[in-house]
Amino acid sequence: MPLITWNESLSVNIEEFDGHHKKIIKLLNGLFDAVAVKKGISVIQPTVAELIDYTRYHFAAEESFLEKHSFPWINSHKHEHDELSSKVLEFQKQLSEGKAMVDLALLNFLKDWLTRHIMGSDKKYSSFIKEKGKS
């Protein structure tokens, strides 16, 4: 059973970003599966790195899109991205030093953050874009 399942309630009605979110969910579920079957650090660490790298790519693309469309709440949106990035990069450092491990609490935190972010901040830009008739 996956940690998180894509459904239409998570759609921001922008194909590019729905695709990004689906890939992040797939990567997060892959990490969950690796932890569930007790894969070693040699599998988990690259999976974490891939999730981080793709999320960075997504954040940059989303922020560029929001700047292009003069989204009025872009600074708070970027701040949410920056806060998560900072936490996750610190975790990655701890993981590489053997001072942390991927566990269910971390996975649930990431799932909850992603869901709240999409349903809150991302839906806000989705509504803005739709109201302005932009794409």
pLDDT tens, position by position, 36-83: 998 888 889 999 999 999 999 999 999 999 999 999 999 999 999 999
- For domain 13-132, give the fold: Four Helix Bundle (Hemerythrin (Met), subunit A) (1.20.120)
134 vs 131: CA distance, rounded Å: 8
User: What's the pLDDT at 128?
Assistant: 94
User: What's the pLDDT at 25?
Assistant: 98
44 vs 63: CA distance, rounded Å: 28
Q: Is residue 21 within 8 Å of residue 123, measured between CB atoms?
A: no
Chain Cα centroid distance, residue 30: 14
Q: What residues have CB less than 8 Å from 134, skipping those under 6 apart?
A: 69
96 vs 102: CA distance, rounded Å: 11
